[in-house]
A = this chain, B = another copy of it.
């Protein structure tokens, strides 16, 4: 099948498929005589794997690692588990950061009347912040 159909069936845009190939995440696709990329069922499944792993926030290079682990079935499950756990740690750090930001913003918003008057403590706070 051509790239358009592979895109439709995997949910990965054609542009993105070419990009993944260009950066080495996917092997170079075989070509039909006219030079169009040619895909099969297994390729579509690989694309779905990539798509789902990306949706879980794995970077493209991490997805490359996961694909490698999948292809080499001799590898221990602990390798996969380790990658997944470090991703969880990344997420936890990001969550804490966002929650801190949110708390500060919430405090600022509550201290601001939000009416037609120009005074708003948000800006003053940003200019003269307490340490945090």
Q: Which residues of A line the B interface, CB within 8 A?
A: 45, 48-49, 52-53, 55-57, 66, 69-70, 73-78, 80-82, 84-85, 87-88, 91-92, 94-95, 98-99, 101-102, 104-106, 108-109, 112-120, 122-123, 126-127, 129
* Number of chain copies forming the complex: 2
- A105 with B127: CB separation less than 8 A: no
Set B57, B78, B80, B120: member contacting A81, Cβ < 8 A: B120
**Shortest Cβ distance from residue A88 to the other chain B in the assembled complex, whole angstroms:** 5
- B53 with A116: CB separation less than 8 A: no
- B45 with A76: CB separation less than 8 A: no
- B49 with A116: CB separation less than 8 A: no
- B57 with A120: CB separation less than 8 A: no
On chain B, the residues within 8 Å of A57 by CB distance are: 98, 101
**Shortest Cβ distance from residue A128 to the other chain B in the assembled complex, whole angstroms:** 8
- A99 with B95: CB separation less than 8 A: yes
